[in-house]
Amino acid sequence: MLVAGGFAIYTKAMLFDPVSQTWTRTDNLRQGRNGHTATLLPNGEVLVVGGTNQSGINSSVELYDPATGKWRFTGSLSQARTQHEAVLLNDGRVLITGGEDDNSILSSAEVYDPVTELWTTTGSMNTERIAFTLSLLKDGKALAVGGYNFCQSCNVMKRTELYDPSDGTWTPSANLMFGRSGHAVATLPDGELVVSGGFHGDDATATVDVYDPNQQAWTAAGPPMRSRRLSHTMTRLQDGRILVSGGDDSFNNAYETAELGTTAP
């Protein structure tokens, strides 16, 4: 597992070996950054995109080669951004969208081609978003869920939308049960999505919802998490259970705790 960059605008990167359970240093990022994304490519390289550095929000992009343990710059974004989301498409390209630049929250999107190492502008989302999630569905489309922006009617959003890589367009999908930002998402073996927690209105929530991509519908799942969480992580384990870890409540109280949930009906 590769960990790179972080809040203090680190250039440091480290590797974790699950067999020996040890951390080792690897080559530093060419540029310190936080608020970036990291995507594992089919060839084993890792694509790190955007984020914030000492000069502000940036458009630079780097590739990490695990064979050499080195970073190098690749094609830059056309739009500098931070706190965006990224997803690996079925054809090996990487879609990034949303986030913010120095002036505003963004709806624009770009696609990275690992063959040419260039970015191409694609269709923009219908709504500007930050603190949202972006997930690949079994049919190859990507679903953007929730988040917030500064428009008066949609600060914390119920809205979701689907990206179709065949024509580069976004279309609205079913609304969440209620608005969420800073939530977490995991994909179930049958292709359904589970979202948990996040900020809702004036507080964090412990509720969990499930998205059925065949019906394009959300249903409430129960029981809720034991703690109200936002900015946490959610990971599907090999036995099918869901691990929720860390995060904080809406009053900046960070959690050390973790929870396990089942994906059974």
Q: Cα angle at 37 between 159 and 55, to 5 degrees?
A: 110
| Residue 117: strand pairing partners | none
Among 84, 72, 79, 203, smallest CA distance to 132 is for 84
Name the strands in the sheet holding 233-236, side by side, starting at the edge strand that comes first in the sequence: 233-236, 242-245, 258-261
The SS3 of residue 180 is coil
Query: Which 3 state secondary structure label does DSSP give 205?
Result: strand
**DSSP β-ladder status, 94-97 and 37-40:** unpaired
Reference 37, options 87, 104, 103; nearest CA is 87
For residue 19, tell me if it sits in a domain. yes
Can you give the pLDDT at residue 153?
53
Residue 129 forms part of a structural domain: no
Rounded to whole angstroms, the Cα distance separating 89 from 173 reads 19
Half-sphere exposure of 36 (CA within 13 A, CB side): 33
Q: Is residue 100 part of a domain?
A: yes
Cis peptide before 223 (omega within 30 of 0): yes
**Tokens 């959300």 -> residue:** 218
> Does residue 152 sit within a domain?
no
CATH number at residue 44: 2.120.10.80
Q: Is 67 part of a structural domain of the chain?
A: yes
Return d(Cα 158, Cα 35) in angstroms, integer. Answer: 23
Q: Under a CB-based contact definition with an 8 Å cutoff, are residues 229 and 196 in contact?
A: yes
145 vs 143: CA distance, rounded Å: 6
- Digitized pLDDT (tens) for each residue of the chain, 265 residues in all: 999 999 888 899 999 999 999 999 999 999 999 999 999 999 999 999 999 998 999 999 999 999 999 999 999 999 999 999 999 999 999 999 999 999 899 999 999 999 999 999 999 999 999 999 999 999 999 999 999 987 655 568 999 999 999 999 999 999 999 899 999 999 998 999 999 999 987 789 999 999 999 999 999 988 899 999 999 999 999 888 999 999 998 888 899 999 998 865 4
Q: What's the pLDDT at 7? A: 87
- What is the number of domains present in the chain? 1
Domain assignment present for residue 26? The answer is yes
Q: Does residue 113 belong to any structural domain of this protein?
A: yes
State residue 265's pLDDT score: 47
Write out the residue range of the structural domain in which residue 85 sits: 1-124
* CA distances for 182 relative to 64, 75, 107, 124, angstroms: 27, 29, 17, 21
Q: Does 190 fall in a domain? A: no
Separation CA 20–CA 51 (nearest Å): 32
